[in-house]
Amino acid sequence: MSELLNQFEYILDYDPLINEVGFIHPSQFATLEKDSESGSSRLKASDALDGGDGSFWIRDHKLGISSEVVLRLYKAAREQFMNAIAEYKKLGDLSLPSAEALGIVVMKCSKTLLLLNSDFGTAWNSRKLILSNKTQASMFTDELRLSTLVLSYSTKSEQAWSHRRWVIKNMARNLTTLQEILSGESDLVEKIAERSKMNYRAWNHRCWLVSYMDREQMIQELKQSKTWAGLHVADHSCFHYRMRLIIRILEDCCRKQEEGSCDSCVEVYLIWQEELDWNEELIKRYLGREALWLYRRFLSLLWIRHFTSDVNDVFSPQKSQSSIQVNVNAFLDKELLLVNSCSEGSDDEFEDFEEQAICSASYMLWLTKQIPETQKLELREKIENERLDAMLKLVSLRGPPFGAI
């Protein structure tokens, strides 16, 4: 085993609280040293870890690895891991003390390797193999910590996110509630999404977590993620997460209604109304944002399907035709006002205004396909905005800028 690998493993053992890993160009080491010396926070005995040759840098639980040595370090770590896992798999009886000791070696070697290559599937699988025979909660907590560390340098690693879900599934079997873990996972996703824009894998992980939430947690998540979504209106993934939450809240309400309880139905109605109003505010504030208009399609479709009756009759299968007609028309009138306001503007306006007009026309064209033919004709008669009418014709000829949900 190379001296370089020995040094790397010594650093990992020396500071088990390392929470961030990064790869640094050798020219940056001098700057980092200068900045850390002028700062107020510095690890004790950090001089023992400077590597001498400038291969590693560590301060305040942040580890930097010189990009110049990554390849050599990776090759040595991979060879060490492959030898260890081969020896482990040769054992016939994994209950032997020797298997326990060798399992510890495999876990250590795989950790070293994964901090250099986040997508080395065999290393992740070896950890699953060993952990599948364990029951200690602390080992699974440590596994989440390792995954977080890997994600600090590889935020879109599918292997790391997938392994994280496997760990949570196993923890769920032995825990009565996952509320604290779920809250921590949501915070992690938001932090990573802040650093790594349009991170589908991170948001997909958060969507997966919804299946473990109760109704109160889902409503709380909807409220807590609202601020982040309002500041990242171009990120489709965060709005997809809100869709997931709303669908699950609706499913929970429908299930309770079947059981004879509908106390939560009015609350769900109010959530939808608040979400529609909030979405309209964002659309008017941020012009031409595709994600906002797609999200409105989702809200409008569910509104038409589930809430186009009296609020006291929400989800009731007995809906009078007249009450549906009145509420649908009222909803469509409000949407037409929004679309008309978004279609206003002159030819010399900025590009965002033009994009807003196209998005609004596309939305209206989509909306007309979700309602009965009679109401569609009535809606067409109400369109008096010449600019909107022209936009509708243009969009219908060339196709909408984005597909339907």
Task: Verify that 171 and 309 share a domain, yes or no.
Answer: no
pLDDT score, position 304 = 83
46: containing domain: 1-175
pLDDT score, position 396 = 65
Backbone angles phi, psi at 20, to 5 degrees: -155, 135
Q: What is the dihedral of CA 31, 36, 37, 41, to 10 degrees?
A: 170
- Among 175, 190, 218, give the residue marking a domain's end: 175
- Among 160, 175, 190, give the residue marking a domain's end: 175
Q: How many domains are there within the chain?
A: 2
In a domain, 217, yes or no: no
Sign (positive or negative) of CA dihedral 394, 397, 401, 402: positive
In a domain, 58, yes or no: yes
In a domain, 213, yes or no: no
In the numeric block, which tokens belong to residue 70?
A: 């990554």
Q: Would you report the helix, strand and coil content of the chain in percent, each value rounded to 5?
A: 70, 5, 25
- Nearest-angstrom CA–CA distance, 388 and 251: 37
Q: Inter-axis angle of helices 321-343 and 386-398, to 10 degrees?
A: 100
pLDDT score, position 401 = 61
pLDDT in tens, the chain (405 residues): 589 999 999 999 999 999 999 999 998 887 877 776 654 344 443 444 544 567 999 999 999 999 999 999 999 999 999 999 999 988 877 777 788 899 999 999 999 999 999 999 999 999 999 999 888 889 999 999 999 999 999 999 999 999 999 999 999 988 877 889 999 999 999 999 999 988 999 999 999 999 999 999 999 999 999 999 999 999 999 999 999 999 999 998 888 777 666 566 778 888 999 999 999 999 999 999 999 999 999 999 988 887 765 444 444 444 434 444 447 778 888 999 999 888 876 555 567 888 898 899 899 889 988 887 777 777 777 776 656 666 666 666 656 566 544
In a domain, 236, yes or no: no
- Among 127, 145, 175, give the residue marking a domain's end: 175
In a domain, 357, yes or no: yes
Q: Inter-axis angle of helices 351-368 and 373-382, to 10 degrees?
A: 150
* Burial tier of 58 (Cβ tally within 10 Å: 0-12, 13-18, 19+): buried
In a domain, 250, yes or no: no
List, in order, residues 6 or more apart from 32 with CB less than 8 Å away.
Answer: 24, 57, 59, 64
What is the CB neighbour count within 10 angstroms for residue 206?
Answer: 24
